[in-house]
Each structure stands twice: as C-alpha cells, then as structure tokens.
Amino acid sequence: MKTLLSFSILFSASIVFAEDLKTVTSKIDSVTVYLDGAGIVRSAQVKITPGQKQYVFSDLSPKLNPESINITASGGVTIMSIVNKTNFLAQDFQNPVIQQLKDSLALLSDQKGLLQTEKNVFTEEKDLLNQNKPIGGTAGVSIAELQKAADFYRARVMQINMELYRMGKEENKISETMTRINLQLKELNAKFNPPKSEITVTVKSSAAVTSSFVIRYVVTNTGWAPFYDLVANGVSQPIILRYRANAYNNTGEDWNDVKIKLSTADAMRSASKPQLKKWSLNYDNRTISEGLLNTQLNIQRSLDLNLYNNRTEVNKDIPYQQIEVSELNSEFDVKEPYTIPADAKPYLLEIKEHELPADFQYYSAPKIERGAFLIAKVTGWEDLDLVEGTANVYFGNTYIGRSYIYTRSMEDTLDLSLGTDNKILVTRKKLKEFSSKNFFGTTRKETYTYEIQVKNNRDEPVQIDLEDQVPITEESEIKVEALEISKAELDDISGILRWHINLASGQSEKVVVSFSVKYPKNRRIHIYQSKVMYCPRF
C-alpha cells in the first residue's frame, strides 16, 4: 500500500511537471560560418507567466556543442538554469519517399518470408525422401519396382532441387533490394529525420511579460573554403577578382533564407584573454610549383591533418585541407540571405568583387613550347584579407585554367598566366650550318646554334620576356662555353638566358643562342633534354 501511494505521488508530480514544461519554436536569424564550424543565432518570442517555469527550445541541431550555449531574455526575466539533451524520437514530418520505401521494404520482407516457408517445405520433403531410400525390406523388390522407385526419386529430387535453386536466387535478389532500400532509408532518415537537440531553460519572472529570447550556440559538421574567379577582359583593363566561398551544412538543421557571415576565426575560441608568444623569424624554404606546395610540405600537412581528424569529429563526405590564415581574424558579410539545406553538399556564396590594376606582358620559352603566354601582373590585392585558395582564371569568356592564391608569402605582384596568344609568333630552329661535331686528340667538341624569332601580329606594341638556356656542367672534365647569346642576361648558376623585347605592331626580332660542349671522346654525355611520357604498348 505504501509503494502504491509513492507511485501515485510520483505520477502526479510528473503530470504537474509536464504541464509546466512548455515547448517553444524558435527561428534562425543569422549564421556565422567558420572555416570549421558555425555560430547559430536563434530568436523566439515567449509569453512568460509569473513565477518559475520551464521552457523547451526544440528542433535544434544534433551537432550542437553544449559548452557554447548562451541564452539571453528581455523583460526582466531571470534565467535560472540551462540543460541540453538529444531527442532521438523527434521527427519533423514523415517524408513521403521514406514512407514509400518503408512500404516496399515491408512487402519485400513478406515475400522473403513466404519464400523461406516454401523452401522449408521442400527441404523437409527432400529429407523425407532421403530417409526412405531403403525399399523392399529383406525380401527385396523386382527390377521393375526398383526402376519405378528410382525414376520417381530422381524426378522428384530434381524438381525439388530446381525449386530450391529458383527460390534461392529469388531470395538473394530480394535481399539485395532490401539492402539497397535500407541504405537509402539510412541516408534519407539522416537528412529528414535526424535526432534533434533540445535546450530546457528554467526562468523566473515577477510579472507576466512577452520576452524576447536570443539563443546562441556553435555547431560542428559545417564550414567554408575560399574560391576565386580572376577575369581579364583585355590587356588595357583591370583584373576582376570575384571573391566567393563554398560552404556546406551537415548540422541536421536547414538554414532557410538567413543572413550569413563568413569568418576565419576559430569557432571554439577561448573566452580567456589572448597571450602573445615568441615571434621567431626564419628562412622559408618551402617552394611552390604552379600554385601547389612541394611534396615535403604536402606530407607534413597530411600528417597534421590526420592528427586533426583523429581528435575532431569531421564530416566524412567533405575532405578537409590545411591552410594558413592571418592571426588577425577576418569576417565577410554575404550581402544577400541564403538558403543552405543540411544535405552536406557545397553551395557557392558570392562575397564581393574587386577591380585590381594589372600590367600585361608576354612570356615565351620556345625550347619547351612554341608560343607566347600572356601574363597579367596584378597589384593591389595584398590588402583584401584574402584566404589562400583555388582560383579559376578567365580571359574574356574563355576559361584558361586554375591558379592558386597563396597568402603566406604574398608579394606585391601576382603573376597570372592567361594562356597563349596566337597573334604573337615564336619560332626556334637549329642552324645546322653553325652546328658541328669535332675531335681534338682525346677531346670531343660539339657546337649547337639556335635561332629564335619573335613576331608581333597585334595592332598594338607588346613587351615580351623571352627565355632560353645553355647547359651547366657539373663535371670538371666537361667544359661548356657560351659562344653567342645576343646580349641576353645570363644566370651563371642556372644557365637561363633572358631577353626583354619591345615589339611594335608588325615588328619581328631574332636572337641567336650558340654554345659548345667539350668532353673526353671516350665518354658519353646526354646533351639533349627529354621528358617521360606514357603511350600504349602493342
């Protein structure tokens, strides 16, 4: 009797508690997307009655970080406590596609069950036949009866085995279909029916008021990466830099028509005061080749990223990369409200557009490729708070390729290659009459002479940087002598030859490169340069 009374008291208390617990629906006002994570700001208008009450803010992201929750209320309402929990039973709605797949799964399950029942019946019949193989007892049977029994056994067992084989194949097919449906259901449930976080707030008020609640918290499984378009519309016009971002949302809550801000800050930055550390200067031995980091740095980045992945929950559908940003955090307001559903797909956001001054000139290395590349030397971009990232390069309406904006050692000028210009002709040919192979005692001497011609077929004058090279010896027995370089700038370390040529419209100019190589005639050297390629093998 005492136990029953205690249960009644607890049940009555739970009813009173349920009556005091009111569910509140809030809406997202703004989102600050960090490189890894996001800060959510929600708001709600709540009618508060006098006394102490509890309110539940439901349908929040399951990726919510409880330590980041901050709630304020207006109207003299005092917040007594904040409790966060995950509701695994919450479902916003039953998606019709999910319901259809569940119905199909139930139908297939019934079909599979019927097949298994039939298989059991045939298997038991087969076992019965096998148990009754002995016939005739000790008296034996006639040949005719034995033949008749054998024919019956063979025909029936064959029929049973064929039915079992057919049903086995059909059962496997049903199982495969059910597996695919279950995988699809798992993906759809994660998208449409993920678990939800809830925040229970205990408040106290001395009067009945309508209070404005502001809920702030940080979520994971979201982030953004910079993406640029660099557009050159002509050699006399500035470069257009379009600052964009790819952002994804896999937080379990959709961002519908909300104000978005992008930030380079740390989503989980500490509230403690900052502390300066020792600032040491060293040589930066890292190199870049066509916008990509060298192999050693890539390996180090991979190791650092693996450590990050091991200690941090990251979205498996979105590969992460390691970049460096300025110590001073930058923020970029996205002008128009955006909708980014929680589907883990990247969405392109427009941030801003800049016009940057640029000087245009041409570059050619006809030993490698006979063509003149238009180079835009862009200035004025170091003060735009750029984050390093990939850039699509366009010349007019033509896509040229990809470059990489590398901010860690940013210089005043960024060189962008805009592809070859067919109106600038560059040729390089070997002059056989000035090339020779001779022997002097124990020494072999080979002479090579090349003529390079550049012609400007454009309507305006152009400036072109032309490069070629002479070989550099690394053996004391090999002697290289530059015989003719047409007043080029010679780099003694690399052997690179450079000419800075100004050509009027229709003008052409020739330069000659001639060098000799001496080496012992009983040795062989590989003078011609080559590259490794792959082709079919027949």
Q: Are 42 and 28 in contact (CB under 8 A)?
A: yes
Dmax over CA atoms of the chain, in Å, equals: 123
What's residue 291's pLDDT? Answer: 37
Place of tokens 């199982």: 175
What's residue 144's pLDDT? Answer: 78
* Residue 354, phi then psi, degrees to nearest 5: -130, 150
Amino acid (one-letter) located at 471: P
Distance CA 410, CA 415 (A): 11
Place of tokens 């034996």: 140
Alpha carbon distance, N-terminus to C-terminus of the chain: 94
What's residue 529's pLDDT? Answer: 73
What's residue 448's pLDDT? Answer: 92
* Residue 505, phi then psi, degrees to nearest 5: -60, 130
Q: Which of 451, 469, 455 is nearest to 512 (CA)?
A: 451
Distance CA 364, CA 466 (A): 5
Place of tokens 């370089």: 485
Angle separating helix axes 96-131 and 143-192, nearest 10 degrees: 160
Q: What is the pLDDT along the chain (538 residues), one digit of tens a residue?
A: 444 444 343 434 344 344 467 889 899 999 999 988 999 999 999 999 899 999 999 889 989 999 899 999 999 999 999 998 877 665 555 667 778 888 888 898 899 889 899 888 888 888 887 877 666 554 566 777 777 777 787 888 888 889 889 988 999 999 999 999 888 887 777 666 667 889 999 999 999 999 999 999 999 999 998 888 889 887 778 889 898 899 999 888 899 999 999 988 887 765 566 677 777 666 555 444 333 333 333 433 443 444 344 434 444 556 776 666 666 677 888 888 999 998 888 999 988 888 888 888 899 999 988 889 988 888 877 777 788 888 888 887 888 888 777 766 556 777 778 888 888 999 999 998 878 888 888 899 999 999 999 999 988 899 999 999 999 988 888 999 999 999 999 999 999 999 999 999 999 999 999 999 999 988 888 777 777 777 788 7
What's residue 192's pLDDT? Answer: 62
What's residue 381's pLDDT? Answer: 72
Non-local (6+) Cβ contacts of 46 within 8 A are: 24, 55, 73, 210, 211, 213
Q: Are 52 and 206 in contact (CB under 8 A)?
A: no
* DSSP string for residues in 45-109: EEEEPSEEEEEEEEEE-TTB-GGG-EEEE-TTPEEEEEEEEEETT--S---HHHHHHHHHHHHHH
Helices (H), 283-416: 295-311
Which pair of structure tokens corresponds to residue 28?
């997202």
Residue 56, CA distances (Å) to 13, 91, 382 in order: 18, 16, 48
Full set of structural domains in the chain with CATH: 20-92+197-218 (2.60.120), 96-192 (1.10.287), 221-266+298-420 (no CATH), 424-520 (2.60.40)
Distance CA 55, CA 22 (A): 5
